[in-house]
Amino acid sequence: MAIRTFQNHTPKLGARAFIDRSAVVLGDVELGEDSSVWPLTVIRGDMHRIRIGARTSVQDASVLHITHAGPFNPDGFPLLIGDDVTIGHKVMLHGCTLGSRILVGMGSTIMDGAIVEDEVIIGAGSLVPPGKRLESGFLYVGSPVKQARALTDKERAFFPYSASNYVKLKDQHLAEGFDQPE
């Protein structure tokens, strides 16, 4: 695992957090308790902050970054992620805000300034354009995303199930030492 200090910012890990040894986490990053970062993921808080809540999993080969402050965006955009979020494989999150109890489907991209409210499912391969807001309680699909339909009770029940499933799995990986250098 590569946890790197950058510009005097060292990532902070909550209790029982797991970062796979092949992942890179650097800079102004905070990872909540029982959260997990899986193989080949990059979380780069080098020019703004990244905050990830509790019981959130960031799946393999995902890239999480920020939008820096500059002449075209004076404040930039941090990357903020709530609790009980499942981020699928190969997801790109860039300077956006995600609430809690969200599923981001594999291969999706969420762009600068986008806001995803609580309890949302984003279908695999979707693109959330800059500045778009996704309203709570819906499934969104497509490129660019469109609201498809309201979530079912079964889909809403999946959020805590998925989060707890990844907590159990990361505990197994911690027990096997997969967060330690080889």
Given the structure tokens 């807001």, which residue do they identify?
133
- What is the reported pLDDT for 179? 81
Whether pTM > 0.85 for this model: the answer is yes
Phi, then psi, of 18 in degrees rounded to 5: -125, 130
Q: Which fold has domain 2-176?
A: UDP N-Acetylglucosamine Acyltransferase; domain 1 (2.160.10)
- What is the reported pLDDT for 1? 55
CA 118 – CA 166 distance, rounded (Å): 19
Q: Which residues, including other chains, have CB under 8 Å from residue 31's CB and lie 6 or more apart?
A: 11, 12, 13, 14, 17, 19, 25, 37, 43, 52
- What is the reported pLDDT for 24? 97
- What is the reported pLDDT for 20? 95
Where the chain has pLDDT below 50, the residues are none
Q: Where are the domains of the chain?
A: 2-176
